[in-house]
Amino acid sequence: MKRVQSYSSLSLYKKCPRLWEWRYVFGRKDAPHPAAERGTMLHALLEEFFRGSHYPSSNRTLAPWQPFMEKLRTFDPTPEQEVAVTAEWEFCDFDSPNAYLRGKIDLAYGDNNGVRHLFDWKSGREYPDHHEQGKAYVAMDAEEPDAYEVRFVYLDQPGLVKPWTYTPKHRDAERENLSALIEKISEDTTYDPTPSPEGCRYCPLSWRKGGNCRRAP
C-alpha cells in the first residue's frame, strides 16, 4: 500500500500489523474513548491560549500549568504546527498528494543559540517509548538547527516535564529508520498479528472481544 503515514500509524504497525490493517486498510475505527476525547479537548484549550486567548485556568487539569505555559508564550512559539515530507524528505504542504509522512507538533520555537524546542502535550501516564516519538518529530521538522530539545509535558502530573535532546545526526538516522519502516508497510501483504498480554487486552480484534484473532492471549 502507498498511503501517507503518521507517527501514530507507524507506532501501531510496530505494535501489531493486523490491527494496523484493520484500521488503515479496512478503515475501521475504535469506539470513541473518553480519555482520547479529553486529551483532544486539552490540546484545543492550549492551542487557543497560544494563539492569543486567555489561559483556561478554570480547567482543573491545566490550572497548575499556568505559570509554565505563560512563560512559554513569551517565546512566541508556533502551536499545532502541521508538517509533511515527501519520500525524498523534502518538505511539502500538509495536504499535498506527494506527502509521505506527516504529523502535528504541539508547540515549536527556536532560540538564539541554535536550539529548536519542540513540545508535546501528554494526557494520561508516561510511556517509555515517548522518546521515540520525539525522534520522529525531529525527523519531520523543517528547520536546520544545531540541536533539538523535545519536551514531553505530562498534563495530569503537575510539573512533570521530560526533556530529550537530539542532534542532526539523530535526525538523519531516524529518517532512514522511518523510510525503512514505511517501505516495509508498503510491501506487507499478510499483516501477521503480534500478540501480547498488554496489547491484546482491549483490542477489538481479540476473540475475547468478539473478534476473529485467535492469536490473542
Could you tell me the residue ranges of all domains in the chain?
7-209
The predicted-structure confidence for 57-66, as pLDDT tens digits, reads as follows 999 999 999 9
Mean pLDDT, residues 161-178 = 94
206 SS3 class: strand
User: For the residues of 36-79, what is the DSSP string, one character each?
Assistant: HHHHHHHHHHHHHHHTTPPP-TTSTTTGGGHHHHHHHHTT-PEE
The residue type at 175: R
pTM over 0.85: yes
Q: How far apart are CA 1 and CA 26, in angstroms?
A: 12
The residue type at 182: I
The pLDDT score that the predictor gives to residue 83 is: 93
Q: pLDDT band at 202, cuts 50/70/90?
A: confident
Q: How many CB atoms lie within 10 A of CB 35?
A: 9
Q: Give the CATH architecture of domain 7-209.
A: Alpha-Beta Complex (3.90)
User: For the residues of 103-161, what is the DSSP string, one character each?
Assistant: EEEEEEEE-TTSEEEEEEEE-S---TTHHHHHHHHHHH-----SEEEEEEEETTSTT-E
The predicted-structure confidence for 82-138, as pLDDT tens digits, reads as follows 999 999 999 999 999 999 999 999 999 999 999 999 999 999 888 888 888 899 999
The pLDDT score that the predictor gives to residue 155 is: 97
